[in-house]
Amino acid sequence: GAQFVTPMTLAARSEAEVYTSLWDLKNETEMGHIQLSREADLIVVCPATADLMAKMAAGIADDLATTLLLATDTQVMAVPAMNVRMWDHAATQRNVSQLRDDGVIVLDPDEGPMACGEYGEGRLPEPDAIFAEIEHWLGSSTQDRAHPLAGKHVVITAGPTREPIDPVRYIANRSSGRQGYAIAGALARLGANVSLISGPVALETPRGVNRIDVETALGMEAAVDAALPADVAILVAAVADWRAEASPRKIKKGETGGPPDLNLIENPDILAGLSRSDKRPELLIGFAAETDKVVGHAKAKLDRKGCDWIIANDVSGDVMGGAENSVHIITEAGVESWEQMPKSDVARKLAERIADVLA
């Protein structure tokens, strides 16, 4: 790190002393690393490399940073940053799991292009997002400010549904579940009790979230009903509008004399049904994935569904499965448009907005 930004630069900008060595004679005659480990309210390891997290998980103390981390009883937050293959490696994931079990706050890295030319998870989160996480966890002196959603139950749906055609084929869509999962994680970090009802996705369950896996629209509807009552419901999932009358055996190509006729049946409208239910949450939020007339279609959906907010996004590009999103929040009061940003930032801002409304 000192090769990129010199200690003198940091000292000048922070107007504070910068410590780099365990063998500083002046500081270590007074056991400076012990003092450093005790005087902070929060220790942020940023960036947290794969090597440093491995040392933290193993309790190795071979330089100033690792010695301080082993000697502290202060809350530690690690902000990972590394190559995508290093992040995905079983050893790194094992170390992350161990650190979280040890009480270390390990943030999720962003997904996107990297300095090495590759693409994937492992990017350092944006500074504003890191600062927001520090604010959430450090907060003020009160637990309520740090966890404003404590005691609130939130139900979230995420991902696609799969509607079987026969035992090997199904109707589905391109939803990756990333936005819903990011929202679930952001709400959990604010103290909410989160029930995440997920269609089939290849994502890790956010820390502190109760995940319920389903496959079909009917399964998702039943899981949502079973998860109630809730203070908030956020229906992010891309639920298939129709399902087929599934064949009990594989449809053979030569048996139908051409493409098979699929008898499609309309799936239940989970959002509209929940808005009319006697179990309706205090705040009911739907998502609208549109490819044209995004705001106009979303306004019509708000009226039709009877929910409190519709969050609309344009999915004509690479939003489904991509790392970023640009959304419009439609309420009876009007439309608020957010610029394109990482899905983790959309999730954080939305979680904060929900906390403000419930407060």
Residue 358, Cβ density class (10 Å: 0-12 exposed, 13-18 middle, ≥19 buried): middle
Q: Is 358 helix (H, G, I), strand (E, B) or coil?
A: helix
Q: Which residue stretches of the chain are H helix?
A: 7-14, 25-28, 32-39, 50-58, 64-71, 84-88, 90-101, 127-138, 143-146, 178-189, 217-227, 270-276, 294-305, 343-358
Q: How far is CA 164 from the centre of its chain?
A: 28
CB–CB of 351/207 below 8 Å?
Answer: no
Question: How far, in Å, CA of 19 to CA of 35, rounded?
Answer: 12
Is-contact 158 199, C-beta < 8 A?
yes
> Which residues form the catalytic set?
116
- pLDDT for the residue numbered 140: 45
Which amino acid, one-letter code, is at 3? Q
DSSP β-ladder status, 232-235 and 153-158: parallel
Going residue by residue through the chain, which has 359 residues, state the pLDDT in tens, using 9 for 90 and above.
Answer: 788 889 999 999 988 888 888 777 565 555 556 777 777 889 999 999 999 999 999 999 999 899 999 988 888 999 999 999 999 999 999 999 899 888 899 999 998 888 888 888 999 999 988 988 887 777 644 445 558 898 999 999 999 999 999 999 999 999 999 999 999 999 998 989 999 999 999 998 987 899 999 999 999 999 999 999 999 999 999 999 999 999 999 999 877 778 888 999 999 999 999 999 999 999 999 999 888 999 999 999 999 999 999 999 988 877 777 888 899 999 999 999 999 888 988 999 999 999 999 98
- φ/ψ (deg, to 5) at 233: -130, 130
pTM over 0.85: no
Task: Identify the CA nearest to 162 among candidates 114, 132, 200.
Answer: 200
Q: Render pLDDT for 187-211 as a digit per residue (tens, 0 to 9).
A: 998 989 999 999 999 998 987 899 9
pLDDT the model gives residue 74: 86
Cα gap 125→146, rounded to integer Å: 20
Please give the Cα distance from 108 to 120 (Å, whole number): 12
Give the residue among 44, 10, 8 at the shortest CA–CA distance from 127: 44
